[in-house]
Every structure is written in structure tokens, then in C-alpha cells.
Chain A
Amino acid sequence: MNEMTTIAKTTTLKDWETDQEVRWCPGCGDYAILKAVQRTMPEIGTAPENTVFISGIGCSSRFPYYMETYGFHTIHGRAPAFATGLKLANPNLDIWIVTGDGDGLSIGGNHTMHLIRRNLDCQIMLFNNEIYGLTKGQYSPTSRVGTTSPSTPYGSVDRPAQPAAFALGAGARFVARGFDVSKELPNVLKAAHAHKGAAFIEIFQNCIVYNKDVFEDFAAPKGAEDRQLWLKSDEPMLFAKGTKGIALDVDALNLKVVDVVDGDWQAAGVIVHDVTNRSVAHMLVEMRFGEFPMALGVLYDDPRPTFEADVWRQNKAAAEGKTADLQSLLKKGQTWTVTEGGPEL
């Protein structure tokens, strides 16, 4: 029952757009993500009526209003819980959760963790802009130390959470990264959708008003090849046009950047990306930008049975051979009959 039963019709980008006026700030990274999703959906080939976008609260969480699908704009931080109930009620639905760094990691961190741990089949798009946009610019759980904001006029002092590391730590079987204007984003979304189970995608998103260009250091087109490591399954971890790669520092039991001479990445010890290698995934999500390029694309992808499938399987097994006769259930246990002659067992 975990398979899509509806035969998808061919759709185009237009089929996934609603008639609602999009209300993000001009230049917001959300526009690019919305377009990327609307462009990807026809390629994925699912039916709009079988697709549900569920969000919490925040700028990102307006997303469902703009998708011509079923949509539920819920309450702050709780989208994963609504998704869980919905998916258990109808495992045939294709569920996308839209959340942000505040919604998904601060107020809703608990639910994000448990949804990932249970491995509910859905896609979680966490728009990380390292700031609270909708409440007008306070620092968020992913803001860097020293972020000045209305609530931290002297700079924030608490250390940021790392979404991808958090997800992996919570037991995620799929972790990916992308950013709003990246041409690769649709491919990341497709891979997430193809993964059966909770697929966690951290999408760096530029908040043009409150945290402008905070990701420019790696996302700027100029010099991008030196600062972005796009991971591809079964391919060596190369960047800077193949002149650099990621290798294992055996002494430190960590990763290191190595120079690749004449394209001989093997000689340099560059690792071939195995998306099912959990140990390497842990190192990739911990790679510090600066010393390393930003690891993007599918960092980890190793499916396990999904929560809803196991629940349905167990429900079915427990009901096996039993009839749902409520009248006899009411009579169950220690009963007695009162007749004119008195009570008897």
C-alpha cells in the first residue's frame, strides 16, 4: 500500500501553479525554490491531486498556497506531526513538508527529529536563511555567532545548529543540500522524491531583507567551482574543475582537501562518493566551510523500511483472522446475564 496507485498524467509547470498572488519580498530566494519545485514536479510524474504540501509558520511556510496541489498551512513547528497523521491515514499521498530554520529546528526541532527517526516517507525541504524573516529579522538557531539582529543588538552568542548534521544524527536515511538559485536543485529534489522514506533537504535560501547574501561566500556564481563540492553517486569527490578533491586523512580520521595533479585523482587518494556510506556522510555534514568547500547534492541515501509501511503491516497482521464485530467486543470480558431468576455467568 505504499506504492503510488494513481497513474500520473503528464503535467506541465503551469499545472502546478495556483492563481494566488505570491507574497514574498521581491528578490527573495523562495521564488527560485518555488519555480524549481514547480518545474520538477512534472518530471517526477506524480499527480497534483495526490500531492500534499504541508508547512508550519514562517516565510517558507506560505509555500503551499502557491502549489496547485492539496495543501495545509499548519501551526508553528508542527508540520511533521500533521504529515505523520496524514500519511498514516493515507499512505498513497505524496507528502512534501516545507519548513525553515526557525520552524523546523527551533520551535519544531522535536518533531523534525522524530519524523526523521521514524522514517516517514516524505520530503522535508528546510529553507535555511539563518534568520527569522516573518517576525522581522531576529537571529535563528542557524545564525552564525555574532549575528546582530533586533533581539541580539550586541551580536548572538549561541552556537548555530547544523541542519544536515542534525538530520543525520536523528537517523536520517537521506540527506541532501542545495541552494535557492542553483541549477542543480531540481536534481536534488528528484533524488529526494525517489528515496522511499524521510528525505531531508537543506536548501540555503537568501533572505534579501534581513540576512542578505549570507551564503555568497560559497553560492556566488563567481568562483563557485572552487567553493562548491557537488557530490555525485559513484563519482570522485572533485571540485575546482577537477584540480582538488576530498581524501581521507587517515592519521586524523577525518577528511582533507588534496590537490589533484593531471587529473589523476586516484593517485591523490580522492574518495569515490558512496551515498550509502554513513560514516563518510557524518564527515561530509561536519565539513567546515572555508577549510573545505560546501558539500552539496545528495550526501547520503540509504533507504530503510518506512514508518507508515510498518504501521500498516502491523495493523494488518494484528487484524488477521479477526472480525470487526463490535457487538461481540462489547460483550467481551467478565459478563453475566440477569434473568428473572437472577444473575448468572
Chain B
Amino acid sequence: MATAVEDRATTSPSPLSDAVVVRFAGDSGDGMQLTGGQFTLSSALAGNDFATFPDFPAEIRAPQGTLFGVSAFQINFGSSAIDTAGDAPDVLVAMNPAALKTNVPQLKQGGLIIADEGEFNDRNLAKAKYESNPLEDGSLAKWQLLKLNISQLTMDAVKPFGLGNKEALRCKNMWTLGLALWMFDRDRQPLVDWLNAKFAKAPDLAAANIAALNAGHAYGETAELAGPLKQHHVDPAPVAPGLYRTLTGAEGIALGLVAGAQLAKLPMFFGGYPITPASAILHHLSRLKEYDVTTFQAEDEIAAICSAIGASYGGSLGVTSSSGPGIALKGEAMGLAIMTELPLIIVNSQRGGPSTGLPTKTEQSDLYQAVYGRNGDAPMPVVSARSPGDAFECAIEAVRIAVQYMTPVMLLTDGYIANAAEPWAVPDLTTYEDFPVEFLTEVPEGGFKPYGRDENLKRPWVKPGTPGLLHRIGGIEKELDTGHINYAPENHQAMTDIRKNKIDGIKVPDQIVELGAEGGKLAVVGWGSTFGPIHQAVRRKRAEGADVSHIHIRHIWPLPANLGELLKSYDTVIVPEMNTGQLKTVLRDQYLVDAKPVNKVSGQPFTIAEIEAAIDGAL
């Protein structure tokens, strides 16, 4: 598939179109994530649709100038619907040789490189393992090159503010941002306001950063005369009126969990242990005490989930969160939550594995772990988010299932969704139906049965502290109805069947077709963060007249009731996923359909071109 990308790159036109991909790359200390974030906001204010992809190193502070210390931020913005952060950048801003070296291979042919030549000195070139200066030796000929001494220009711009060298150079990213704002005809004022607010306590720094921003902008204006630098205006995308904000997946999960707890009328208890890329959820929630949220940083992953189960036992909504290796540690406790039938949310922000794997890179390789990864027959619902905004909805859905069926639920997201930002139409909470929990508080007619069941096979939830309903629960097989310990063969069979039937019977919405028709030649079936590239690829192929449809599964377990019939209505089914074929295996197992795998396990999201090539190959 790599070939397909190159083909696309060589054939794509160099003039900028109605969708532009810009990649800011620099040293970890150059402030590229911040630059990207602010450029994102300006794209939003320009009315563009957008998607972003932050790509930063696993090291906390990698040595300056090294290849592994490069931090990049990619944004795709346009005047029509944007689903991905873009395959290949049109513009690469490279703040040093290492950033150029690691990022220029992805740049579109004919694309524009803006390089800070002030950083291309012998020392930095050696660190980036360049034998000669790429800005001088002609090796960048297939791209347009604009070399600027951004370091010097920034120093000149901030000179009046008397900053030290180091502090002055810190304003480089604002100079660069100023230039980028000019390039895309953007308003500077929101950035000026933001800088003033950010540096309210250090007005000198605010003024210096604003001066750098203005200088970068002015540079664009005056240097337009000749060379590759051109101003380009991207029209606003047709977006429904409403209030918008940028949302990352971690924010989406955190806010969705709070919303879910409110709809269930429960206090929330979150037990977590720091792990990349899941920690952001703990960070967000720990600031939301007024929403009846208690957060607890436990001593380890196991304590994190066990404390959450303890809180659920006490009548709170227990939530825990981690990433692959931490989820593995939580496995035994998930089994206990299944056995004791207590509600619990387990958020898994998937990352590259196995073992420690790729902590800051994305992958979808925990689907087996989510669906099957426990000892015994231990069925558990699994919901998967496709985007930051969808993470909000999925978190609410996970809470609903957990409390309506008294079961742990795994909510899958991934490193890409966790860090990526997208514009999000702020939902009106009054449009969500609540699902308040009713605890059992009195002995019901016919006597109290801790493992008695309602029509959903749900057992009652009793808070310790309730008089008259004293009982004991635990991980040893329960007796039907009473919940006492029972090892009898027929009882174990009956309880195993009940646990399975309860999860199988969870009501999930029917599967819809995202794009295309029900039935036809080809269905591209995805889940999670592959939504963007699949959706764009299918849209493009359909525009070319191909008979291809996009199906994206949110409810991984139990699967939607109509899914089997739906899949069988296509001649061919392909399943692109960032693993070696895990959903594919589940679909084959459940429906005996000949689902074909399309796999990428590189720590990077699929490109649209890769999915397009897979569609071409399957048609």
C-alpha cells in the first residue's frame, strides 16, 4: 500500500486546493503542539472544517536537535467536510534539520517546505545525520523550498523587549504562526487576545510574542513579491449553525462520562493510574469535583479498577481507565465485576503493543483483549468511539448499558482519538433521555434475592448501609437467586448461561450504513478511529461511480442484531483496521462471512489513499 501513497503523491497537483494539509515540525522544545493548536483555532474561526494529528515523541525531553526528539502537528482544513488529518502535507514547516529529515518524505511532490535556515548549522545537521546541508545540496528539488532565518528574524523582532537569547528564541513559534496566518489569510486578533491572556502576569513576554507574531505576518506580506510564498484563502465549509468548540478525544470521554453519570443520577468515582495516552482523562476529571466526581490516583492499575468496583458496590458509578498494558493488569478484576454483576466503565485508550509497545502511537489491537481477554466465560459489552465528538456519545452509551444491565462495559478509544482535535457542535443536554438508577431499598414482594432478575436479566443494585437487605457477594460462583456460594454443576451451567444471555440480550441500535447503499458490491467495514480515512475514501470512490459502502461499527459487543444480514447483502466485505485482523475474525466467527482483512500496524493512522487502494483491489 505504500506504493499507492507514492503514486498519489506524484500525481497530485501542487497548487493548493479547497483542502490544505499543513504540518508543523520542530524540536520538542519548539512549541509545535501549541502552534498547531492555535492554528487549529484560527481555522475554526475561519469557518473551515478540520481534523488534526499531533505526533510527538515518547521521550519527555529528548536531547535537542535529535531525530527522535521531533514533535509534529498536522492539520487538514478545508471548505468541504474533512474526515482525516490528511494523507500528505501540502506545506511542511521545519524548524530544524531533524524535523525536515523525519517529515519531508511525507510531503506532497511540489509541496512547500518552509525551513528555518538559522538552525541548519553543522551541529544540528550532524545530529540529524545529514552529510551535507539539504537546503543547499539540491536534494529537495522535487519540492518548493523557502529558507528563512526564522531564528534571526525572531530575534530582531523581539529585540526591543530586552529578552535573553533563549527567551527570545522561544518566540520563534509565534513568528512562524504569524507567517502561517498570513499564508492562509487569517485574522490575528484572536491570537493576540490569547497571548495577552496567557501572559497576563508577564506583559513583556506577551508583547514580545505578539511582536514575533506580527513580524511573521508582515514578512509574508512583504515577501510575497517573488518565490514560492503565496497567500491562499480557503473558504468556510458549510457547517450547520450553532455553538462550536474544539474537542479532543480525552475531553470527549471525560465530558461524556460526567454526562452519563448525571443522566444516571449517580455520583462518579474514577480510579486511575497514570499511563500514556490515557492519563489525560484522569487529568480532566480531577478538575470536575463540583460535578460529584471523585478521582483517585491509585498505587497501580489493579488498585485503580478494584477501587472503582468498590465504589460501584457502594452505589457510585465506578470508572477506570488505562491503555493496553494496564488493561491487561485489570483483567482479573473485570472478571469479578462480571461475577458480582456491578456496573463499571473501563476506558481503554489503545496504543501500539504488545507489552510496552509504542506508548505515544496509535493502534486498534486490543479488540481481542476487550471482547475475549479474561479467564472463564466472561462476556462484557464493548463500545468503540470513532472520533473525539463520538467519544462523548459513546461514553454516555457505555454508562447507560452499565447501569441498565448491571455489567462492566469496556469503552474503546485510541491514541489518535485521544490526542486529535476536531470541531464539535456543543450538544444540547436537554435532548438526551435520562436513565436514573433505582437502587433496591426495601425487601420486595416474594423476598429479597440478591441475584434475582428483571426482564433484562439485571440483578438488583443494593447499597451497603441499606437496612434489611444485608447480603454477601464475591467471585466464587453464585447460586441462582440467592447469590450464596454454589459449586453445583447444574448451577454453574445455569449461571454461565444467564451471564451470556444477559449480555447477548443488550439492546443496541441497528447497524446503519454510513455512506452508500444496503447491499451491493463492496462494503468497507470499520470501527474506531479509522472512520475518517474510510469515510473519505468511500466518498471519493463513490464520486467516481464505484459501488462501495461504508459501515462503521460502534457496538463491538454485542454486535447489532441486523449486522449479519447486512454484511451478507454485499458481494465482498473488507475490514481495514490498525491490527492484524481482529474485527475481521469476530465477524467471520459470528456470521460466517468472508470478511477480508486490510491491515496496517505501523503506529500511524491509515491514509485515505491506502483505503482507496484497498477498495480498488477489492472491486
Interface of B is mostly: mixed
Q: Which of B's residues lie within 8 Å of A, judged by CB?
A: 41, 44-47, 190, 194, 236, 239-246, 255, 258-259, 262, 267, 269, 271, 288-292, 294, 296, 298-300, 302-304, 306-316, 318, 332-333, 335-336, 340, 426-429, 463-476, 484-485
Given contacts A88-B269, A88-B311, 13 further A-B contacts (CB under 8 A): A18-B472, A54-B310, A64-B474, A75-B332, A82-B310, A82-B313, A85-B311, A114-B299, A326-B258, A330-B427, A334-B41, A338-B242, A343-B44
Of A73, A85, A337, A342, which is within 8 A of B243 by CB?
A337
Give the A-B contact count at a CB cut-off of 8 A: 212
A319: shortest Cβ distance to chain B, in Å?
4
Contact with B along A53-74 (1 / 0, CB 8 A): 0100100000011011111111
Contact B464 A70 (CB under 8 A): yes
B388: shortest Cβ distance to chain A, in Å?
13
Query: What are the residues of chain B within 8 A of A75 when measuring CB–CB?
Result: 306, 332-333, 335-336, 475
User: In the bound complex, what is the Cα–Cα distance between A69 and B476 (angstroms)?
Assistant: 18
A244-271 interface (Cβ within 8 A of B) = none
A220 contacts the other chain (Cβ, under 8 Å)?
Answer: no
User: In the bound complex, what is the Cα–Cα distance between A340 and B236 (angstroms)?
Assistant: 11
Instruction: Jot down 6 A-B pairs with beta carbons below 8 A, ordered by A.
Output: A6-B465, A65-B485, A75-B333, A82-B313, A330-B429, A334-B246
Of B316, B426, B464, which is within 8 A of A93 by CB?
B464
Closest to A308 in B: B294
Contact with B along A23-36 (1 / 0, CB 8 A): 00000000000000
Query: What are the residues of chain B within 8 A of A69 when measuring CB–CB?
Result: 470
Contact A89 B296 (CB under 8 A): no
User: In the bound complex, what is the Cα–Cα distance between A68 and B471 (angstroms)?
Assistant: 7
A66-110 interface (Cβ within 8 A of B) = 67-76, 78, 80-90, 92-93, 110
Query: What are the residues of chain A within 8 A of B241 when measuring CB–CB?
Result: 337-340
A322 contacts the other chain (Cβ, under 8 Å)?
Answer: yes
User: In the bound complex, what is the Cα–Cα distance between A337 and B271 (angstroms)?
Assistant: 36
Contact B290 A319 (CB under 8 A): yes
Closest to A320 in B: B290
User: In the bound complex, what is the Cα–Cα distance between A335 and B243 (angstroms)?
Assistant: 7
A85: shortest Cβ distance to chain B, in Å?
3
Contact B463 A90 (CB under 8 A): yes
Of A48, A50, A72, which is within 8 A of B474 by CB?
A72
Closest to B300 in A: A110
B123: shortest Cβ distance to chain A, in Å?
38
A324-342 interface (Cβ within 8 A of B) = 324, 326-327, 329-340, 342
A135 contacts the other chain (Cβ, under 8 Å)?
Answer: no
A333: shortest Cβ distance to chain B, in Å?
6
Contact with B along A189-219 (1 / 0, CB 8 A): 0000000000000000000000000000000
Known: A75-B336, A89-B294. Contact between A315 and B289, CB under 8 A? yes
B574: shortest Cβ distance to chain A, in Å?
36
User: In the bound complex, what is the Cα–Cα distance between A311 and B472 (angstroms)?
Assistant: 28
User: In the bound complex, what is the Cα–Cα distance between A323 and B288 (angstroms)?
Assistant: 11
Contact A49 B45 (CB under 8 A): no
Known: A323-B290, A336-B244. Contact between A345 and B473, CB under 8 A? no
Closest to A321 in B: B290
Residue of B190, B307, B335, B484 with most partner-chain A CB within 10 A = B307
Of A78, A89, A342, which is within 8 A of B314 by CB?
A89
User: In the bound complex, what is the Cα–Cα distance between A338 and B44 (angstroms)?
Assistant: 10
